[in-house]
Structure 1
Amino acid sequence: MTLQRPTTKILATMGPASDSPHRIRALLQAGATAFRMNFSHGSHEEHKVRFDALRAVAKEMGRHVPIVSDLQGPKLRVGCLDGGQLTLRYGDLVEAKLGERAGAGIIPIPHQEMFDALKTGDVIMLDDGNLRLSVAEEGKDRIVFKVEVPGLLTDKKGVNVPGRRLPIPAMTAKDERDLEFALREDTDYVALSFVQTAEDVLAAKRIIDGRAKVISKIEKPQAMEEIEAIADASDALMVARGDLGVELPLEEVPMAQRRIIRAARTRGKPVIVATQMLQSMVDAPTPTRAEASDTAAAVMLGADAVMLSAESAVGRHPEAAVAIMSRIIRAASLAEDYQADMSRAAGKPTADSPGSAVALSAAFAAEATHCKAIVASTNTGGTAYTIARLRPAAPILALTPEPKTARQTALAWGVIPVLTDEQPDFEGLSHAAVEAAKGTLSLDEDDRIVLLAGMPTRRTGGTNTLKLIRIGDGA
């Protein structure tokens, strides 16, 4: 069966270039599936306007559009420099002091944890890896660095400490305020930055209490050491290649990306590949060939979504970036070896629960009988995620009475959410499945669909029933 629909989704970051209603509408028409609110920038008032505009446009267009609220996390930054900038020259010794501000020629760093952790010979990276310093003299509130990679340092630039696990919580006081706001606005996903352990994820989940799904952003080497446990604890993963590429040697980032994707896919959890996918389109009207290949590679590995950051938030060509990314996804999805590549990336599927056994049977039945769709009846989204894990050739319809579940499943690979009324019995559910398939796809009377559901309904994790249905038979 040839794939004729978008499979990998597009997560676009909202910002000044993309937050007006007409821009949101244009991005959705160009192929965007979900939107990211970046809480590293902007006020709650600005984000409130974006939430409201996005929900209004989605309702107008009849679309189920998930919102990902991306928390800033404990990002280490330098303070405010005297004069706003400092030129670092190769081989120079430069002093750093604890605090938000310092005198001329001194780097202020307002993080005691850094001073406690750094030892002579350690390396830090500044400004996303553009500057590199090594510790020449350690201290509790004063460190002397030697400049290894020179350049201009300005206020509030990020600091990375490769190879050191700093004793800092995954959520700051700012994150807690932002999280409270995002949950009040009924966000669908919360993205946690700088996750280091599974406990970081579980602590956030205790606060969220089921009100949103949790995406763990993998951007530190320490997270790679615990990737299996973090994947178990999370609802989804994000390959955050920006900071990960600073803290890991560059040559290790592609292998880390493959490992993160595999960890999510084997568990049937969505995985997003992010950072610099089409970076040149912040200014240029077209991406580089390398960027196109990078995006296609993420698709061929079976990523559920690829993310646009500055390209859609502040770029000059947000709609073009989405449209071109959509074309790359479609072309990669139609490649002759697409299904084989994804199967190799995920490994052999296993039936480790009754629900996954039914999902595996549904995928096999759909392929064997040339079904036009797999309809997953779901209240929480679990059944849709389970079938999406198998990356079947047939479209996946997530049939749900829950608006939030419809939005959340829209981020998963190949899933088309369909909102329906609560069905009291299997006969009603079968009829709803046929109507959903007819309303979403172009089907003939002799076409078949496969329905998987849990009976009785409203029982979480209870998928136990599979039915092949001929469209002309109605149910």
Structure 2
Amino acid sequence: MSASFRFSTSVSPLQSHEFPRMPSLLKPRIHLPVLKPMTIALSRVVLPESLKVAASELPKTVVEPAAFREAEGLEVDSVTEAELKENGFRSTRRTKIVCTIGPRTCDFEAIEALAVGGMNVARVNMCHGTQEWHRDVIRRVRRLNEEKGFAVAVMMDTEGSEIHMDDLNGAESAKAEDGEIWTFTVRAFDPSSRPERTITVNYDGFAEDVKVGDELLVDGGMVRFVVSEKIGPDVICHCTDPGLLLPRANLTFWRNGSLVQERNAMLPTISSKDWLDIDFGIAEGVDFIAVSFVRTAEVIKTLKSYIRARSPKSQISVIAKIESIESLNNLEEIIQASDGAMVARGDLGAQIPLEQVPSVQQEVVQLCRELNKPVIVASQLLESMIEYPIPTRAEVADVSEAVRQQADALMLSSESAMGQYPDKALAVLRSVSLRIERWRREEKHYDTTDLPVVSSSLPASISEEICNTASKMANKLEADAIFVYTKTGHISSLLSRNRPSCPIFAFTPMTSIRRCLNLQWGLIPFRLDFSDDMESNLNRTFSLLRAKGMIKSGDLIIVVSDILQSVQAIKVP
């Protein structure tokens, strides 16, 4: 049988408004011989001429700038290159890792160590530090990418308008012991005149709203106090659950077993400080802005329109943090309006019963995948590693479950920002992710989730169906990798959504898109200039990858692009 084979589809006049179903490729009878050097054999799903559209008409998730950065070869970091050389395609980690940068990890060498250890996205938290401090961090990440070939993206997290503590006079933490008396106040102090065990709260109405007998929870319950007395602007509390107090930790209070919500009913989701920080993020060209305490989709829409107005060519993606009861009540609308979501379990666990957090996490992860939005599982993944060099067994099980749910990314917060062992915490996430992913492949747990259609136009439907078909082919044929050539990133995200068993090599001519793709499950982004001639692109890609020792003759590759509406099965010559 010829190495080139073709499936054709046709649409009757009565069905012309619908996208035709691709023929089943689950049991193809095909023979894929090793090809002669630099000869491309294609197995292709070809669409009728009436359905073909130009690549420029395909849906875009980002705005394409006027010019691409010029480069002669293939941009890939040395860590990915070495891993593929030594262990092959199947060894690559599919679950991405976000690391919060803080005092422990803010210098260039520490950031490089995190990137070498597996960090895909560097997060800067605007709750802490100054804009100047964060600017230095962002520019160190950019310098690392330029000098070492990494594609580490930058995520800026807004502070939000919720009640939180001050910065503890610059201390990394403070320990609250059982039975100790602490004062929470709206008064501000000079560092030298602050009374012992006194914390300033950012909400002026705090002393008025709280009542004697209320429970005050720090960081979702990591430390717990009971209000025993009110004296003017001061709220006197005694500690009932001891623990570590971290700078600018979130505060919630409960009365008679219920969360008190009236306190923030009038607070805006995006504060005046947040808008200044957003302007800063736009100016610095961050890749993602994560919005804290999102309550409605309207907030996300407003922010996205603001970004477009301030920077029309900007490719900044907006991530909605799901961490309040209001966000759960409007979950689907919020995720639909966003470019991705974060399950912020710490603050979420302070607003809903703890036993509900796991099911809510699974619901958000599944909904994001159905809507083709990347999702991050965050907060307290390895909390004990702030102080200790190894995690608890329960923490490892928690991380394993997030990987098993196939979340796009896991996030380290205080563990990497101020913990004693940031590199070890990162190594735990990496090793657990690799082990659970390998177990799924060994047991042939191919994803069979019936995903709903997300496309709203004919060109988008074509892209979606092609990616669904390519993923099924890759699983059935046990392909070594999927290659995708994309100028917009959209078709890469559709492939990632299908969670194929093999890695996805995403080739894009744009550095900014390469960084953004680094948040999505299973994608290994490369920067590569390519033309509209797919045969030439494949020849060049094979040549470059073989020169680096990253592929070998006989590897089976499934090829997809937003240039040709086709699926190609190719053995590397």
- Structure 1 residue 448, shift from structure 2 partner: 2.5
From the superposition, tell whether residues 261 and 341 of structure 1 become closer, same or farther in structure 2 (CA, over 3 Å): farther
> Do residues 208 (structure 1) and 327 (structure 2) align?
no
1:459-470 paired onto structure 2 within 5 Å: 464-470=565-571
1:77-226 paired onto structure 2 within 5 Å: 77=164, 111=203, 125-126=217-218, 128-129=220-221, 130-131=223-224, 158-160=250-252, 162=259, 164=261, 166-209=265-308, 210-226=314-330
**Aligned-partner residue type, residue 202 of structure 1:** K
- Structure 1 residue 294, shift from structure 2 partner: 0.9
Matched positions, count: 455
Q: Contact between 1:79 and 1:100, CA under 8 Å: does it hold in 2?
A: no
Higher relative contact order (CA 8 A, sep 6+): 2
1:460 is matched with none
Identity among equivalent pairs (%): 29
Q: Contact between 1:332 and 1:338, CA under 8 Å: does it hold in 2?
A: no
Matches of 2:452 and 2:546 in 1, distance apart? 31
Of 50, 60, 65 in structure 1, the residue corresponding to residue 152 of structure 2 is 65
Matches of 2:368 and 2:213 in 1, distance apart? 36
Matches of 2:571 and 2:357 in 1, distance apart? 47
1:349 is matched with 451
**Aligned-partner residue type, residue 451 of structure 2:** P
- Structure 1 residue 158, shift from structure 2 partner: 3.3
Matches of 1:113 and 1:350 in 2, distance apart? 46
**Aligned-partner residue type, residue 194 of structure 1:** F
> Do residues 400 (structure 1) and 508 (structure 2) align?
yes
1:4-403 paired onto structure 2 within 5 Å: 4-77=91-164, 111=203, 125-126=217-218, 128-129=220-221, 130-131=223-224, 158-160=250-252, 162=259, 164=261, 166-209=265-308, 210-336=314-440, 343=447, 347-353=449-455, 354=461, 355-403=463-511
Gaps of 5+ in 2: 1-87, 169-173, 190-194, 254-258, 309-313, 456-460
1:443-463, Cα deviation, whole Å (9 max, x unpaired): 33332312212237xxxxxxx
Q: Contact between 2:220 and 2:348, CA under 8 Å: does it hold in 1?
A: no
- Structure 1 residue 269, shift from structure 2 partner: 1.4
1:394-433 paired onto structure 2 within 5 Å: 394-433=502-541
- Structure 1 residue 108, shift from structure 2 partner: 7.8
From the superposition, tell whether residues 126 and 275 of structure 1 become closer, same or farther in structure 2 (CA, over 3 Å): closer
Of 462, 471, 474 in structure 1, the residue corresponding to residue 572 of structure 2 is 471
Matches of 2:424 and 2:390 in 1, distance apart? 8
**Aligned-partner residue type, residue 450 of structure 2:** K
- Structure 1 residue 469, shift from structure 2 partner: 2.6
Q: Contact between 2:289 and 2:317, CA under 8 Å: does it hold in 1?
A: yes
Q: Contact between 2:291 and 2:318, CA under 8 Å: does it hold in 1?
A: yes
- TM-score, scaled relative to structure 2: 0.70
- Structure 1 residue 379, shift from structure 2 partner: 2.0
Matches of 1:236 and 1:351 in 2, distance apart? 18
* SS of residue paired to 1:246: coil
* SS of residue paired to 1:334: helix
Task: Report which of the two structures shows the higher radius of gyration computed on alpha carbons.
Answer: 2
- TM-score, scaled relative to structure 1: 0.83
Q: For the aligned residues, what is the CA RMSD?
A: 3.8
Matches of 1:333 and 1:23 in 2, distance apart? 27
* SS of residue paired to 1:367: helix
- Structure 1 residue 281, shift from structure 2 partner: 1.2
Q: Contact between 2:162 and 2:267, CA under 8 Å: does it hold in 1?
A: no
**Aligned-partner residue type, residue 387 of structure 1:** L
**Aligned-partner residue type, residue 451 of structure 1:** V
- Structure 1 residue 95, shift from structure 2 partner: 12
- Structure 1 residue 170, shift from structure 2 partner: 1.6
Of 541, 554, 560 in structure 2, the residue corresponding to residue 452 of structure 1 is 560
- Structure 1 residue 80, shift from structure 2 partner: 11
Matches of 2:131 and 2:250 in 1, distance apart? 23
Q: Contact between 1:99 and 1:110, CA under 8 Å: does it hold in 2?
A: no
From the superposition, tell whether residues 395 and 74 of structure 1 become closer, same or farther in structure 2 (CA, over 3 Å): same
- Structure 1 residue 369, shift from structure 2 partner: 2.8
Q: Contact between 1:125 and 1:160, CA under 8 Å: does it hold in 2?
A: yes
**Aligned-partner residue type, residue 392 of structure 2:** T
Task: Report the more deviating stretch, 160-169 or 308-317.
Answer: 160-169
From the superposition, tell whether residues 285 and 95 of structure 1 become closer, same or farther in structure 2 (CA, over 3 Å): closer
Gaps of 5+ in 1: 457-463
- Structure 1 residue 423, shift from structure 2 partner: 1.4
Matches of 2:432 and 2:388 in 1, distance apart? 17
From the superposition, tell whether residues 191 and 436 of structure 1 become closer, same or farther in structure 2 (CA, over 3 Å): farther
